Amino acid sequence: MTTPGSIPSMETSHDELKDNTIIIVLGASGDLAKKKTFPALFGLFRLGYLPRDVKIVGYARTKMDKAEYHKRATSYLKNPDNDPETTSAIEQFKEISTYVSGSYEDSESFAQLNSHLQEIESHYQSKEANRLFYLALPPSVFVPSAKNLKEQCYSPTGQNRIIVEKPFGKDLDSSRELLDSLKQYWTEDETFRIDHYLGKEMVKNILVLRFANVAMGAAWDKNHISNVQITFKEPFGTEGRGGYFDEFGIIRDILQNHLLQVLSILTMERPVSFSAEDIRDEKVKVLRSIPPIAREDTLLGQYIAANGKPGYLDDDTVPHNSVCPTFAATTLWIHNPRWEGVPFILKAGKALNEAKVEVRIQFKDVTQGIFKDIVRNELIIRIQPSEAVYLKMNTKTPGLITRAMPTEMDLTYKRRFTETKIPEAYEALILDALKGDHSNFVRNDELDVAWKIFTPILHWIEGRQGQLPRPVPYPYGSRGPKELDGFIQKYGFKRANDAYVWPVTNLAAL
């Protein structure tokens, strides 16, 4: 119950933060830990969102002393103006951070890690000792690390939780093998599979936009919506990381996880509550209504040299004859009463003309009669950069002549919420894991059905079905393949003839 003028909160099922907690970051010397995990932990630490007396322990193969570890762990913490308060906070963050080096396959190394943890816990006033293990690791060492953590470092007197980063396998079979292996040591309740898109502010906002607004929910179906596009664009190529990318490709890297998660939240039915299992039940239901992607519903591209930038095959780390797609557009269909016949187009690409992640919902044409060839309504949810929601709608041009023109109802976050800091996705998700809230993490059956949708098309791309498709070329810095416009128009998308442009062009400057 809320008092007049108060802001209602969403009820979720989780525990409060537990005191006597150690956060153990495996892979502490790697890029993911330095660029994402440690900055997120520092952000939570500075805001006072970590448990009282929390300690952070890094673990990796690299041998380094305390000073070197602290230098690496804080190398991506932002303090451009050498602000005294930030500098002081960084020094305090170092004080709660220690490091242990060891192998991921060797149980003796983990026994030494456990001895270090027990030494820290010996100073606790309570016998309770809670441990959160964050695996910022490549998938090749997921299973041995999970096994050794359970056998050597599992706290007998408190809560144990493990965060696992993607990729969760490469197809349906490898994903099931990985899930089965992890389940031998860690229960589903203890496991948190992280997809950082679920921690992004605008992705979490979709639930509120849909289910807290009658006006929005009334038009959220096949009777009103013509097509939906979910787009991911990066303005840079592989830049020397082509070896890793070539193994996975753009579909595994972006579509099968990040964009499919956005789609499931956009299309799920209203959950019974905001508890983790109620939300994830609805996501799984809608994903089960999606058949495997068809070849004819897929467009693949690979960037070539242009605008002074090298092509994908010019990267020395990429196999010289690779047909790995760096751009993909795939259309998914949901066979249920709400969405039957509505195309959901997922697009992602590297080396494009801008950095952007957005959802574009295009509504159907108005009834013909007094208006002809009028611009369609569109609802755009800008996930990044510069979070925004805007509705493209038609209104009368001011003056003595009656003429409709497209304009927008605009909610740009940096303009509307000027005093609010939007948390980083990893900050939100680590805090959820500390509280035991699974709402924004991927459940095992959800992962399984996601792979069922994408595995056939991935096997076709890899030539397992006898035919090896070649991606079409597109210039570095372009919008993508020239075939893209025809592809999305095939599914009913109509581009405005008047070349409508959202007037806020320099979002980053806001």
CATH of the domain at 268: 3.30.360.10
Instruction: Using the predicted structure, report yes or no on whether residue 504 has a pLDDT greater than 80.
Output: no
Q: For position 152, which CATH number holds? A: 3.40.50.720
Question: What's the order of all strands across the beta sheet hosting 21-26?
Answer: 97-101, 55-60, 21-26, 130-135, 160-165, 191-194
pLDDT at residue 303, as a whole number = 96
Its domain, for residue 303, covers 198-426+441-509
8 or 278, which is more confident: 278
Model confidence at 375, in pLDDT bands (50, 70, 90)? confident
Mean model confidence pLDDT for the chain: 89
Distance CA 272, CA 114 (A): 41
Count of domains forming the chain:
2
pLDDT at residue 89, as a whole number = 92
pLDDT at residue 503, as a whole number = 58
Please check whether residue 173 lies inside any domain of the structure. no
Same domain, 361 and 411: yes
Instruction: Using the predicted structure, report yes or no on whether residue 282 has a pLDDT greater than 90.
Output: yes
pLDDT at residue 3, as a whole number = 40
Same domain, 134 and 209: no
Read off the tokens for 375.
């611009």
Identify which of 194-198, 284-288, 313-317 has the greatest average pLDDT. 284-288
235 or 416, which is more confident: 235
The last residue of one of the domains, among 165, 188, 223, is: 165
Instruction: Using the predicted structure, report yes or no on whether residue 312 has a pLDDT greater than 70.
Output: yes
Please check whether residue 412 lies inside any domain of the structure. yes
Please check whether residue 38 lies inside any domain of the structure. yes
pLDDT at residue 51, as a whole number = 92
Instruction: Using the predicted structure, report yes or no on whether residue 368 has a pLDDT greater than 90.
Output: no
Work out the percent of the chain whose per-residue pLDDT is above 70.
Answer: 94
Please check whether residue 260 lies inside any domain of the structure. yes
Residue 104 DSSP label: S
Instruction: Using the predicted structure, report yes or no on whether residue 12 has a pLDDT greater than 50.
Output: no
Pairing state between β 343-349 and 327-333: antiparallel
Please check whether residue 10 lies inside any domain of the structure. no
Burial (CB count <10 Å: 0-12, 13-18, 19+), residue 283:
buried
The last residue of one of the domains, among 165, 182, 208, is: 165
Please give the positions annotated as active site.
258
Please check whether residue 273 lies inside any domain of the structure. yes
Same domain, 242 and 140: no
Please check whether residue 12 lies inside any domain of the structure. no
Give per-residue pLDDT as tens, 456-477: 999 999 988 778 899 999 999 9
Q: How long, in residues, is the chain?
A: 510
Would you call the peptide bond into 481 cis, given omega within 30 degrees of 0 as the criterion? no
Give per-residue pLDDT as tens, 90-124: 999 999 999 999 999 999 999 999 999 999 999 88
Give per-residue pLDDT as tens, 140-170: 899 999 999 999 999 999 999 999 988 788 9
pLDDT at residue 154, as a whole number = 96
Read off the tokens for 256.
């099968």
Same domain, 267 and 212: yes
Same domain, 112 and 226: no
Tokens 């964050």 -> residue: 134
Distance CA 70, CA 98 (A): 8
Please check whether residue 422 lies inside any domain of the structure. yes
Burial 28-49 (b: 16+ CB within 10 A, else e): bbbebbbebbbbbbbbbbbeeb
The last residue of one of the domains, among 165, 187, 220, is: 165
